[in-house]
Chain A
Amino acid sequence: MKNNWWKIIAVLLLTYTLYFGLMGTVPRRAILNESIRNVYFHVPMWFAMIAMLTTSLVYAIKYLRTNDLQYDLKSVEFTNVAILLGILGCATGSLWASVTWGDPWPSDPKLNSVAISMLMYFAYLILRGSFDDEQRRARISAVYNILAYAVFIPLIFILPRLTDSLHPGNGGNPAFSELDMDNQMRRIFYPAVIGWGLLGTWMATVRVRVRMLEEQAD
């Protein structure tokens, strides 16, 4: 119980987000209308994905420093959860885009950047699959993980801001927080960010434990 308090917080925060996210009052905006509620789901999922990938990077570096296979396991499981969150982020974003921008996959630099990053991390999983030796697989995929992260950050944060983008906060568009979010929404948005982040961590730790048990059983 002592170590599990954050899981309870995750459940509470997400229940709160789900309930007030769907039932709470939101400001009326042209075009966005009720779809503004997606801000509680789509945006925090990306934040959580970036947090998962950063954690994965930290474990990759730790692995290279210590050669402890346990870090490799954590690194890959956090990447798996990040990919899942990325797919969910794409799906919710696609829904949102079809309502507000009239196209489920508009040609937008941020969408394309994300698609490329997903390809990069799929390639990471395929790279892992092509090794039999554990130490070798761990070392080489850790190296690729670091390289991929170094490309991921400019792709997500720098390149879309240089061109015109439909997303808020890019290409001279004001960010959501300046324009659309009132304090009522912030009260749900920030807990949502923490909640999705904790849920991702929880999923990753469960997967790590399963993998460790499997290895012990072998």
Chain B
Amino acid sequence: MQELRTLIGKEITLEWRQRYALNGMLLYIVSTVFVCYLSFKLKANQLTPITWNTLFWIIILFTAVNAISKSFTQERAGRLLYYYTIASPQGIILSKIIYNSGLMLVLSLTGFGFYAFVMGNPVGDLWMYLVTIFLSSIGFASSLTMVAGIASKAENNGALMAILSFPVIIPMLLMVMKLAKNALDGLDRGSSSEEVMILLALDAIVVSLSLILFPYLWRS
């Protein structure tokens, strides 16, 4: 527990020292939203809710892949080796997952705020939508962190990250979009409970697999 706290603290300090990376990601999501806004010109208010929702989640997907792919490449190989001698692999992967969840939450909330600002906000049940964003941050972070770890071991990991992560994340993305659609239409919250359970179950599978498999990964 102590180890976990120290490692998360380390991730945050590291991010804070390289603020340009964080600012870069925020700018990335804001400019992507703005590109979408400009592409639809002033017709943004004519978007159907489904298009609105899909567009938002695609933006979040690309932001997530970009943001999380750097979680293993930010540090030099020598320094990673040093962490591995003093910390347990489970601690490292868990701290990275928790840190990335927080990062994704910040990014997607900023993204959502700006998106709703320029593209209009047709959401019926705002709290449920925010819960969806929260769940998706955890889900995306947990599945992408492991994939980022795999991709970082290979050369040219930019392209590899995309092809490895898109198929892995699609089941989660579909569930999230369904949940978001329910929130968008302002459906009764009880009707979304099934999606929430599946999302949590998928998270549980990915996190437990990460804990089991990461020790094999970092040894190489």
Q: Is the CB of B168 within 8 A of A120?
A: yes
Q: Is the CB of B154 within 8 A of A140?
A: yes
Of the candidates A64, A150, A154, which one forms a contact with B216 in the assembled complex, judged by CB atoms under 8 Å apart?
A64
Q: Is the CB of A148 within 8 A of B168?
A: yes
The verdict on B80 contacting chain A, using a C-beta distance below 8 Å, is no
Contacts of A133-161 to chain B: CB distance below 8 A: 135-136, 139-140, 142-144, 146-148, 150-151, 154-155, 158-159
Complex: A151 Cα to B167 Cα, angstroms? 9
Of the candidates B150, B171, B217, which one forms a contact with A151 in the assembled complex, judged by CB atoms under 8 Å apart?
B171
Say whether chain A's binding surface is mostly helix, strand, loop, or mixed.
helix
User: Residues of B contacting A122 with CB < 8 Å?
Assistant: 163
* 10 interchain pairs, CB-CB under 8 A: A117-B167, A130-B154, A139-B216, A143-B213, A143-B217, A147-B206, A148-B167, A150-B205, A154-B202, A155-B171
Residues in chain A within 8 A of chain B (CB atoms): 64, 116-117, 119-120, 122-123, 126-127, 130-131, 135-136, 139-140, 142-144, 146-148, 150-151, 154-155, 158-159, 162
Q: Is the CB of A130 within 8 A of B156?
A: yes
Q: Is the CB of B164 within 8 A of A136?
A: no
Residues in chain B within 8 A of chain A (CB atoms): 146-147, 150, 153-156, 160, 163-164, 166-168, 170-171, 174, 194, 198, 202, 205-206, 209, 213, 216-217, 219-220
User: Residues of A contacting B216 with CB < 8 Å?
Assistant: 64, 139, 142-143
Q: Is the CB of A116 within 8 A of B170?
A: yes
Q: Is the CB of A116 within 8 A of B150?
A: no
What's the nearest-Cβ distance from chain B to residue A180, in Å? 29
Q: Is the CB of A120 within 8 A of B167?
A: yes
Q: Is the CB of A130 within 8 A of B160?
A: yes
What's the nearest-Cβ distance from chain B to residue A72, in Å? 13
Q: Is the CB of B153 within 8 A of A123?
A: no
Q: Is the CB of A147 within 8 A of B220?
A: no
Nearest B-chain residue to A120, judged by Cβ = B167
Q: Is the CB of A126 within 8 A of B150?
A: no
What's the nearest-Cβ distance from chain A to residue B30, in Å? 30
Q: Is the CB of A147 within 8 A of B147?
A: yes
Nearest A-chain residue to B156, judged by Cβ = A130
Q: Is the CB of B150 within 8 A of A127?
A: yes
What's the nearest-Cβ distance from chain A to residue B205, in Å? 6
User: Residues of A contacting B167 with CB < 8 Å?
Assistant: 116-117, 119-120, 123, 148, 151
Q: Is the CB of B209 within 8 A of A126?
A: no
Complex: A128 Cα to B220 Cα, angstroms? 15
Q: Is the CB of A126 within 8 A of B160?
A: yes
A147-B147, A154-B202 in contact; A135/B220 too (CB < 8 A)? yes
Q: Is the CB of B213 within 8 A of A147?
A: yes
Q: Is the CB of B202 within 8 A of A123?
A: no
Complex: A142 Cα to B214 Cα, angstroms? 12
Nearest B-chain residue to A63, judged by Cβ = B216
Of the candidates B156, B163, B220, which one forms a contact with A123 in the assembled complex, judged by CB atoms under 8 Å apart?
B163
User: Residues of B contacting A136 with CB < 8 Å?
Assistant: 153, 220
